[in-house]
Amino acid sequence: MSSVDKVRVIYNIHPFAMHLPGGGEVQLLKYKEYLKAQNCDVVLHDIWHPRFNESMLFHHFHLVSGGIPFLDCVRKLGMQVVLSPNLWINETNQSNINTQEIQTFYNLADHIVCNSAVEIDNLELHSGLPRHKAHVIHNGVDPWFCELVNPTIFKEWSGVEGAYLLNVANIEHRKNQLGAVRAASVIGLPLVSIGRVRDQSYFELCIKEGQGKYFIHLGALAQSDERLRAAYQGCAAFILPSTLETPGIAALEAAASGARVVITSEGSAYEYFQDEAFYVNPQDQDSIVTAIAQALNSPSNPLLQSRIIEHFSWHCVTAGLLNFYSERQGSGSR
């Protein structure tokens, strides 16, 4: 295959994914955005206007029930199926995992792309992931998060004065905002929350726990909004004590912005942040408080920011992804 030949791949995700998008949906759209500049054409699958005949590569994101007959059809059309599980299995979600169904997804895939080497280990152990099909393409971050913005744009918009802790995530049990609010009340700083509400009852628990003082929910901001960047750059620490993460795109954004990062130890975060972040056991409230206190008492760490920008910018990540696609398109076979 010539180096000048354009690579074309079709992307697909489950039908309700973009209603309340999270990290997996951001990843898909960032792949598309950055690959465009690298001579790669990403076609978003449209059920009303399918373009299966325009590519031999079909990349499907997430393992949501209902996708199996569709991928079976795609495979029978002769396309190579690339699968992104975006999945981590532990005791908090194992009872909701249909291992037999997941293994059917694996069987239909020619290649399986994971966000880390440790994710491959996890999925092999808990769901029988066939390691010979697995490849690592790390998650990424926009490099412009390291560019300084005027800090007043966040303060003027939010009304937040003084030091604050920051959580950027959809509000739901997995993100463990409740644990973060409880820790914030012990530390004595408010937790500023930016994100959509996925679970209304859980959101109301966070409000109640915040006692009108320690939980400030501001709604969602677009990634490109400078107010979000200012929030990252101005926070005392970024807090993501989730029950699992792979590793959390918001945590990458916070690190690229120069924030101190407090993050769950459950998932792939260590593969990205190494010893430059503060890790918590999401099931241990004292662990969350201790990690936040350690972060607040530590100097800012430019090593974390430089590590993330150098190794995990979307430019770098999608260059590896493009090589992966090019090799498969060039082979033309399973």
Tens digit of pLDDT for each residue in 270-300? 999 999 999 999 999 999 999 999 999 998 8
Return the CA Rg of the chain.
20
Look up residue 209 and give its two tokens: 């726990």
> In degrees to the nearest 10, what's the CA dihedral of 163, 167, 168, 173?
-160
pTM value is 0.94
Half-sphere exposure of 24 (CA within 13 A, CB side): 24
What confidence score (pLDDT) does residue 84 get? 98
Residue 1 pLDDT: 42
pLDDT at 331: 66
Q: What DSSP letter does each residue of 256-300 carry, written as one string?
A: HTT--EEEESSBSHHHHHGGGSEEE-TT-HHHHHHHHHHHHTS--
Instruction: Quote the pLDDT of residue 6.
Output: 87
pLDDT by residue (tens digit) across 238-275? 999 999 999 999 999 999 999 999 999 999 999 999 99
Give the per-residue pLDDT at 218.
98
The list of the chain residues with pLDDT below 70 reads 1-4, 330-334
Q: Which residue has the tokens 């009108």?
A: 212
Domains of the chain, CATH where assigned: 7-140+313-331 (3.40.50.2000), 144-310 (3.40.50.2000)
H-state helical runs in 19-113: 23-36, 67-76, 99-108
